[in-house]
Chains A and B, each alone.
Chain A
Amino acid sequence: MIDRFQDIQAWLEDQPHLLRLGRLFSETVLIEVEGEEIYLTFEKGRIVSVEAGPSRKTPWRFALRTDAEALEQFWQARPAPGFHDIFGLAKIGRGRIDGDILCLVKNLRFFKEVMALARHTEEGVA
């Protein structure tokens, strides 16, 4: 799973509008997929590190916890209802968002679009 987030890290560099949207976002986000911890450290909109856990020493601002199959569905071009959004995953019981939710909401468009960078499009991968 960590390689998907390394891909996202690379693809983000080619998205100037996201780098602009995220220019004030410098936080660490925990992605937990069936117990596998992945720490994404953002610096002014860039992902400067993708680190595998487990870690008890890495502070994070908010966390998205889900399962691998749900994430794969989320990354489809046209996900089924509920799998189409991170809050949808929470709504259908396939995800949980913890931590500083207000920080997430203030940067919601940016974070959701970063997460969706691995979404398949008709032309291939976004």
Chain B
Amino acid sequence: MSIEPITGRYLTIEIGGTPRRIYFEEAGQGRAVLCLHTAGADTRQWRHLMNDAEVTADHRLIAFDMPWHGKSLPPEGFETQEYLLTTEAYIETVLAVVAGLGLERPILAGCSMGGRIALQLAALHPEQFSGFIAIEASDFQAAWYDIDWFHRPDAHGGEMGAALVSANISPYAPNAERWNTLWMFMQSGPGVFRGDLSFYTRDDSLIGRLGQIDTGKTPVHLLVGAYDLTCTPEDAKRTAAAIPGATVSVMDELGHFPMSEHPQGFRPFFLDALARMPRVAVQAA
């Protein structure tokens, strides 16, 4: 028997003028690191790092489920709404969580769409953070698939989504973690993966903002897995090249969900990324 050090609680914030009940988890103490999950998934993607005593010895890792995801409820009246995530709502949500939890300039670590919004925040709200770890993140990805496939009455969107994103998991990933990663997609609420992909594959506003990121004040480090078909190493390198001073590491044996699909393989890259982030925020906190 074992009890993990992760604790989960709920936070109510306002987004778009309406209250949202947000589920968040945390572990560790020290420098705060706010972790953002990918599309179609939730906070569980970060559990391995949150259970890693070496990481949490001097870092407070916090992850939250976006509204509609995991244990965060959709807004009241969702039954008649079409969920379509926007850059503006995503930014508002992250900033509201930072304020709601009283975090002082945390490091922001996001994967996939979480990495995309991390770079948007690096451009638009850098003063709120001490640095950015953008995992499987790129300037823009047009969809090579039809996002409507994943929300239809005659098929299970979660099962189809999981089968599709399995293309982005490395063959080096331990089988159990491959399937734990896919399970989250299978559990995703109807239309949620589609709504996330709408943001990820249709909003290209980041492209014109990359040049305004000041890595002298807030460093940006990108991590990308060689087996990621969605955000390829070429996509991440192109994105990094457009951000003066940004750095990028290619992870040869990892895919699109590195912290979840292959935690041991991802660990050294995440520790290296943390080491690149400034320590000033710790003293300020």
Residues of chain A whose beta carbon lies under 8 Å from any beta carbon of chain B = 77-79, 81-82, 84-88, 91, 102, 105-106, 108-109, 112
Contacts and interface: CB of A to CB of B under 8 A. Distances in A.
A84 B254 CA distance: 12
Nearest to A21: B159
Interface string B47-60: 00000000000000
Contact of A106 (B144, B145, B155, B170): B155
A79 B155 CA distance: 30
> Which among B149, B163, B164 has the highest number of chain A CB atoms within 10 Å?
B163
B163 A109 contact: yes
Given A88-B229, A108-B163, 18 more contacts: A79-B171, A84-B171, A85-B166, A85-B229, A87-B164, A87-B229, A88-B167, A91-B144, A91-B229, A102-B146, A102-B149, A105-B149, A105-B163, A106-B155, A106-B160, A109-B159, A109-B163, A112-B163
B270 interface: no
Given A78-B172, A79-B171, A109 B227 contact: no
B171 A77 contact: yes
B162 interface: yes
A106 B162 CA distance: 11
B164 A105 contact: yes
Given A77-B171, A78-B172, A84-B227, A109 B149 contact: no
Contacts, number: 40
Chain B interface: which size bin?
A: 10 to 19
Contacts of B144: 91
A124 B170 CA distance: 20
7 contacts: A78-B172, A86-B167, A88-B229, A105-B145, A105-B160, A106-B155, A112-B163
A105 B61 CA distance: 36
> Which among B144, B171, B172 has the highest number of chain A CB atoms within 10 Å?
B171
Given A91-B229, A109-B159, A109-B162, A85 B172 contact: no
A105 B227 CA distance: 20
> Which among A81, A82, A91, A106 has the highest number of chain B CB atoms within 10 Å?
A81
Nearest 4 CB-CB pairings of A with B: A108-B163, A85-B167, A109-B163, A78-B171
A86 B159 CA distance: 17
Contacts of A105: 145, 149, 160, 163-164
A78 B229 CA distance: 16
B123 interface: no
Nearest to B159: A109
B160 A108 contact: yes
Contacts of B166: 85, 109, 112
A26 to B, nearest CB: 16
Contacts of A102: 146, 149
A112 B167 CA distance: 10
Contacts of A85: 166-167, 229
B218 to A, nearest CB: 31
B226 interface: yes
Interface string B108-151: 00000000000000000000000000000000000011100100
Contacts of A91: 144, 229
B79 to A, nearest CB: 25
Nearest to A82: B229
Nearest to B156: A106
A82 B146 CA distance: 20
Contacts of B164: 87, 105, 108
Contacts of B163: 105, 108-109, 112
A102 B148 CA distance: 10
Contacts of A112: 163, 166
Contacts of B155: 106
Given A105-B149, A109-B162, A87 B167 contact: yes
